[in-house]
């Protein structure tokens, strides 16, 4: 009897274990089904970026150089429209890049002017952002203008210097010289040289080491606008010129020969009897050195209180700024070819003076030799060639 009860207990316990295991397995299956039926949560929503507009120069700037490029740039978006306006709402010329993410001015601005941005940009969020703000350019205490001595399209002689005459003083010569350039159709060695202020302001010349090669095309660029000259002065405007160097015509003027020889492209084309300055008076000596033709007059009034004359002479070609000309003078006809009697000029007959006058170009060299008094800076105007190349190079500010 006891054995039967023990067996029944074992059976019951075993059955209970089976039920319990089955119940646990069912519960796990139900939990698995329940878990599989639950949907995954949505990922967090990320807001689209807002368009961000930046400016150069920065908004509120009040001392921008007018040569600076003004730019509006948008990040995380594109521009719909951009306008930069100056006084009276006048728009400044500019353009977009291909992506319409940047707008840039296409030319210089003006001194002492306030410019205002307007327009809009659209961000990747689809929302519009305004383009706004303003900046101002610097206001110089003074603007100084430079003028070139040789204009576009001219033909000049082989000794012609390039001169920029300023209408005010240039204190920072190095800054200005950095803005100057000379380009030539054939290689030509040369240098800028600063001369003493004259003619209302500073002046700088570019001189080749040797005479220009005949037929050279020369382009001068003076990017002076926006350049600081020092002492509160700035360049007023850019100046440029392209011109040609003509045939090589050189006058050989040996005062002791009483002749004036004209050589063109290596060949002598004229030999004129001449009279030069009186040798016994140093004030009347024709100066020795390389003179440069600068002006021509069909009739030129010549006056000297010191020597008591007031006369009009024909076919006058100025070769220095101290009163020296090559000109006709019938009064000295008897001395031409045999004696020097003038007040420093080169006297020719009327026909010979006219013949030379017709061939002379600005920049032609006139090489005077044979007198004890040398052409120098005190004779004014174009005395560039009185200096050696080493002396000339030292006049550069760079």
Are 381 and 285 within 8 A, CB to CB?
no
As given in the structure block, the two tokens for residue 271 are 């030999």
**CB-count burial class (<10 Å; 0-12, 13-18, 19+) for 333:** middle
Catalytic residue, candidates 258, 291, 327, 343: 327
How far apart (Å, rounded) are the C-alpha atoms in residues 13 and 54?
82
Are 320 and 379 within 8 A, CB to CB?
yes
CA angle 392, 395, 397 (to 5 degrees): 140
How far apart (Å, rounded) are the C-alpha atoms in residues 254 and 76?
79
161: closest CA among 198, 211, 200, 201?
Answer: 211
Query: Which helix (H) or strand (E) covers residue 12, if one does?
Result: helix 2-37
Local structure of 330: helix, strand or coil: helix
As given in the structure block, the two tokens for residue 174 are 């190095």
Compute the CA torsion angle 351, 352, 355, 356 (nearest 10 deg): -150
Catalytic residue, candidates 169, 291, 343, 345: 345
Are 124 and 49 within 8 A, CB to CB?
yes
As given in the structure block, the two tokens for residue 358 are 């017709």
Local structure of 256: helix, strand or coil: helix
| Known active-site residue 345 | yes
User: Residue 103: phi, psi to the nearest 5?
Assistant: -125, 130
How far apart (Å, rounded) are the C-alpha atoms in residues 113 and 73?
22
How far apart (Å, rounded) are the C-alpha atoms in residues 93 and 69?
11
Active-site residue list: 327, 345
């Amino acid at each position: 009897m006891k054995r039967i009860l023990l067996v029944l207990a074992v059976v019951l316990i075993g059955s209970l274990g089976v039920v319990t295991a089955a119940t646990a397995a069912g519960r796990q299956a139900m939990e698995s089904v329940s878990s599989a039926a639950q949907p995954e949560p949505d990922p967090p929503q990320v807001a689209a970026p807002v368009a961000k507009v930046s400016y150069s120069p920065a908004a509120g700037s009040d001392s921008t150089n007018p040569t600076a490029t003004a730019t509006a740039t948008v990040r995380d978006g594109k521009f719909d429209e951009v306008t930069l306006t100056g006084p009276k709402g006048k728009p400044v010329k500019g353009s977009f890049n291909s992506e319409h993410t940047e707008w840039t001015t296409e030319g210089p601005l003006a001194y002492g002017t306030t410019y205002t941005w307007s327009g809009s940009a659209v961000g990747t969020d689809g929302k519009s952002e305004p383009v706004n703000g303003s900046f101002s350019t610097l206001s110089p205490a003074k603007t100084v203008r430079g003028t070139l001595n040789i204009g576009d399209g001219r033909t000049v002689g082989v000794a012609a210097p390039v001169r920029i005459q300023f209408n005010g003083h240039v204190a920072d010569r190095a800054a200005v010289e950095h803005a100057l350039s000379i380009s030539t159709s054939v290689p030509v060695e040369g240098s800028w040289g600063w001369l003493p202020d004259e003619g209302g302001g500073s002046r700088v010349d570019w001189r080749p080491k040797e005479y220009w090669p005949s037929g050279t095309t020369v382009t001068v660029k003076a990017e002076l606008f926006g350049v600081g000259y020092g002492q509160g002065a700035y360049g007023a405007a850019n100046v440029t010129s392209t011109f040609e160097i003509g045939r090589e015509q050189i006058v050989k003027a040996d005062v002791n020969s009483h002749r004036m020889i004209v050589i063109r492209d290596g060949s002598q084309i004229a030999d004129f009897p001449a009279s030069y300055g009186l040798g016994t008076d140093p004030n009347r000596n024709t100066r020795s050195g390389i003179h440069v033709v600068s002006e021509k007059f069909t009739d030129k009034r010549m006056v000297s209180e010191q020597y008591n004359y007031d006369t009009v002479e024909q076919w006058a070609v100025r070769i220095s700024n101290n009163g020296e000309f090559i000109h006709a003078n019938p009064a000295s006809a008897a001395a031409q070819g045999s004696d020097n009697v003038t007040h420093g000029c080169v006297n020719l007959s009327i026909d010979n003076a006219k013949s030379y006058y017709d061939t002379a170009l600005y920049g032609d060299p006139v090489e005077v030799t044979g007198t004890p008094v040398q052409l120098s800076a005190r004779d004014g105007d174009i005395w560039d060639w009185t200096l050696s190349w080493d002396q000339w190079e030292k006049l550069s500010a760079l």
